[in-house]
A and B are shown apart, each in its own frame.
Chain A
Amino acid sequence: MRLELRSSFLKVLKWELFNLSRFPIPELILTAGIFITLQAAGVPGNFGVLSGNEHIEKLSFEGCLEEMNNYIGLAVSFGIDRLFLSVALFSVILSSLAFSYEMESGLMAFYLSQPVGRAFIFISKALIIFLINFSACLFSFYFTSVLLVPRQITHLLKSGHIFYSFSLISLEIALFSLSLSVLVAILTQKLSFSVTIGVALILILQAMDQTLWELGFKYLPPTSVKELIFFTFVPAIMPNPPKLSPANVIRIPFVTSLLMSLVAYYQFVTRYEAK
């Protein structure tokens, strides 16, 4: 019985992988990711903040070279709050295709008539969308870093600190955009509504970035991403960085994402009626 369940889940997962990774979608996410991270990397202002502090001034040339890795990470990841917009938009498109389009066209009713649980269908769809976005994010970070300093490729691949930081930031972006877009797609159940409302919500969130920050709601993406970068990279460079609340930086966005995902899961598994 367990084996059957496992094989059916794997079949659904494989099907969704082929369905959602059709030709232009992952490529476009990747292209947008690389474009945005390259655009943002190396803005002089980013280094102006760091070059003025005493810690850097006291370093020898060799010491500065050792700090290079953190600079690369910082340079690349400073553009990440812009990457949120593109990843979130693609997440809306993928979620709308996977959920609301199939609900509207009757494909979902066909899936539900198959001997596969609703939970499996939900998890497989959400998991594939998440994996596509997360891997595109991570790949664009690494690709941009290698483009900036080709000789650093081995260090970038081996450095646990950079991998941890890039993964954490990518995880937050991918998870938040996924949970928001899937929730909208399941609640609306129509492709046009899902895309419109999802895009509108993300644009509002992006536009309110500064306002949210000033109002104190700085732990929701994209504002939390800036805090996360500060929390992960800056302490490695500055000996006495301003105090942050890392627990909030990590906890609040992840809890928000988890809550939205749970609501979407409950709505799909128990409340959704296939037409």
Chain B
Amino acid sequence: MRGSKIILRLGFTVFLMGVSILSSALSRKTLSTSLEMNGSIHLQEPSSILNLEFAYLLNKTSILHGKFPEGSYGWIEIYDRRGAQLLLSGEESTPLVRERFNTSILFKYSAPYRDYYLIVLRVENVTGRYLVSFSFHQDLETDLLKDSFLIMAFGSVMISIGYVVIPIFEKRVNAPSINANFRTNPSNKEDSRYRL
């Protein structure tokens, strides 16, 4: 198989994968909760200072401090050690989120490839320690739509390279000689050796 054909086929494969992701994203009607999970954070300090290791979302070394009002669902502010506010901030939630989680604000973190949301469900005072239940959420539809377009664009580039660019170089390298023409196309009337 020639190089252009391999690239062309890979391009078609990537493009088809993008199409399948797009169709999958479009056909998902409900709110995605693919990575939703319930967990709890133990707050050590009574002043409701949230000390959570957001190891998955941020660097493992980052320890975040946030203010969290006891018993409220509404908002959260998270600061780093120097007091600067981080990217995680409250946003008005979509109607679907509001309906599902009974919260008007969710907290968004823009990671390099994905946007994640932390939805605080309830705060409980358990023997002097505060137990915060949360839901970890990812808006998969939007992410899949973005990914699908990106993958389809990548596939299209590969197809155009395989279809246009590489054949140009291959033609230059393997320029057909008279003998090659004779072998490949014996009925070629243009070849002088066939003239009577």
Contact = CB atoms under 8 A, between A and B. Distances in A.
Contacts of B20: 31-32, 34-35, 38
A44 B53 contact: no
Interface string A131-171: 00000000000010001111100000000000000000000
Contacts of B16: 27-28, 30-31
Contact of B41 (A26, A60, A75, A148): A60
B122 to A, nearest CB: 12
Contacts of B143: 147
Interface in A48-83: 50-51, 56-65, 67-68, 71-72, 75
Contacts of A211: none
A47 interface: yes
Interface in B30-82: 30, 32-42, 52-56
B140 A63 contact: no
Contacts of B52: 61
A226 B138 CA distance: 25
Interface residues of B, number: 41
B39 A44 contact: no
Contact of B53 (A34, A41, A61, A68): A61
B17 A34 contact: yes
Interface residues of A, number: 38
Contacts of A56: 37-39
B64 to A, nearest CB: 11
Interface of B is mostly: mixed
Contacts, number: 102
Nearest to B151: A147
Interface string A17-38: 0000001001110111011001
B38 A147 contact: no
B149 interface: no
A68 B40 CA distance: 14
A57 B135 CA distance: 12
B12 interface: yes
A148 B33 CA distance: 11
Given A31-B16, A39-B24, A147 B111 contact: no
B195 interface: no
A132 to B, nearest CB: 13
Nearest to B14: A27
Contact of A34 (B21, B38, B41, B42): B21
A38 B21 contact: yes
Interface in B178-192: none
Given A42-B34, A147-B147, A59 B39 contact: yes
19 contacts: A32-B20, A34-B21, A35-B24, A38-B144, A47-B37, A56-B39, A57-B40, A61-B52, A61-B54, A62-B55, A64-B39, A64-B136, A71-B37, A147-B143, A147-B147, A149-B114, A150-B112, A150-B114, A151-B111
Given A34-B24, A148-B34, 13 more contacts: A23-B12, A27-B13, A27-B16, A30-B17, A47-B33, A50-B37, A62-B53, A62-B55, A64-B37, A71-B37, A75-B34, A149-B35, A150-B112
Interface of A: 23, 26-28, 30-32, 34-35, 38-39, 41-42, 44, 47, 50-51, 56-65, 67-68, 71-72, 75, 143, 147-151
